[in-house]
Amino acid sequence: MHEQVHSWLTEKMRAPGILACGLRFPDRKTFTRSQSPQFAPVALENACRCMADTFQVIHSNRFPIERVRWVFDNYFMYGSTREDGICFAVLTRRDNSNLNPADLDVIFQEFQGLTP
């Protein structure tokens, strides 16, 4: 199971414009990938936890949201969750001309169909 998750995350890092990404499972296991030492694993794990907590609050209030985007000074963090509670987060530059929004949509669709 974890081998598939690691392979999938590594593959997603090849998409132009993605700086880091991570998956957080309901049992609190978190898997991250980064293209830069600037985004340390512990910081990415914390960001994934915060994203998962946000989705938990959103869903407990019955808001019909599948994806969010957090806006920072120089970065966007996109997140999505599944019915089984797995959360996926993607970090990109805010001014990223390399990132194709359609590619990001495909990645999130793949996430929804990922078999952990």
Give the pLDDT of residue 66.
85
Res. 65: pLDDT tops 60: yes
Please report, as a single letter, which amino acid is at residue 86.
Answer: I
**Judging by DSSP bridges, how do beta strands 18-24 and 30-34 pair with one another?**
antiparallel
Give the pLDDT of residue 1.
54
Please report, as a single letter, which amino acid is at residue 45.
Answer: E
Give residue-wise pLDDT tens across range 20-62. Answer: 999 999 999 999 999 888 899 999 999 999 999 999 999 899 9
Give the pLDDT of residue 111.
93
Model's pTM, two decimal places? 0.90
If you average pLDDT over residues 102-110, what whole number do you get? 92
Cβ atoms of 22 and 45 within 8 Å: the answer is yes
